[in-house]
Structure formats: C-alpha cells, structure tokens
Structure 1
C-alpha cells in the first residue's frame, strides 16, 4: 500500500502527524488481532488448554486493571 496515495475526492486528507498516528494505531490493532488469531489456531489444532495451566480470571483482571491504571489518558 502506497503511503503517498491521493485521497478520494470525497475525503478530507490528514496532516502528517494524524496519518502517522492512524498508521501506528492500525499496526497496534493488527498485532493484537494476530495474537488472538494464533491463540484460536492453537486451540483449533490442539484443543482447549488444561485449566491447571491457565491463569485465573481474577488474576488476569487485576493485571489488566493495573496495566490500564499505568497508561497515559487518551482522548477519543
């Protein structure tokens, strides 16, 4: 995909910073989806993991909330 493609006539072009931010966000989301896809492929190939080898949902929740608390605020 070309980074210098002309915008469609009915679209408003982004400035350099906005375009770079959109590309960075897209790459981050693509990486997350790739991780999810690999987990699902592993489950399809090998079945569900044993409950004894997993992480309890409470621990996963607490870790995720701690991660969110450490992030910088974002504006939508």
Structure 2
C-alpha cells in the first residue's frame, strides 16, 4: 500500500542511469556503499521503534531499577581506555 499521493510524471525520480547528464554517475562501489549505509540506518530505526513500542506497551521503567547514566558512562570510558571492544587507548 502506497501512502504517498500520486506524483506527476515530471516529478518522479529517474533511475541513476537515465540521469547521467544531470550530474556525476555513481560507481557500483558507491552504490553498494549507499545500500550498506541505508541498511545500517534501517537497523538503527528498527531498534528505536522496538524501544518506543516497548515503552508504549509497558510504560517507562522504574528509575530505581535502572542504572544511573553516570555509571554507564564510567563503564564505557573504562572499556575504551583499557582497550576492550576493539578500541585502543590513546598514548
């Protein structure tokens, strides 16, 4: 089901191949990179949607049962400075 109104033929998108005279054409590698970036953004959007749906269903968590952000921040700094998670500490 398409929720967008019908557009006149003059305003529809043209495939990249047919728009070659209007700007630089993308290489296959650039197209693949764009598709990969789009896939990652979709994954992030799905994660956010899942969190929002959980909040809508169950409400916000009780603050007394949550980890304070300061503790989370300190754990992340510790992980970054000790070289865990593939990161290296700056010397």
Report the RMSD for the aligned CA atoms in angstroms. Answer: 3.0
- How does the TM-score come out when normalised to structure 2? 0.55
Q: 1:46 aligns with which of 51, 55, 58?
A: 58
Unaligned runs of 5+ in 1: 71-76
> How far apart in 2 are the matches of 1:31 and 1:39?
13
Unaligned runs of 5+ in 2: 1-13
Name the structure 2 match of 1:56.
Answer: 68
- How does the TM-score come out when normalised to structure 1? 0.64
> How far apart in 2 are the matches of 1:56 and 1:22?
37
| 1:11, distance to aligned residue in structure 2 (A) | 4.7
| 1:34, distance to aligned residue in structure 2 (A) | 0.5
| Runs of 4+ displaced beyond 4 Å | none
Aligned length: 66
**Secondary structure in 2 aligned to 1:13?**
coil
Max radius of gyration: which structure? 2
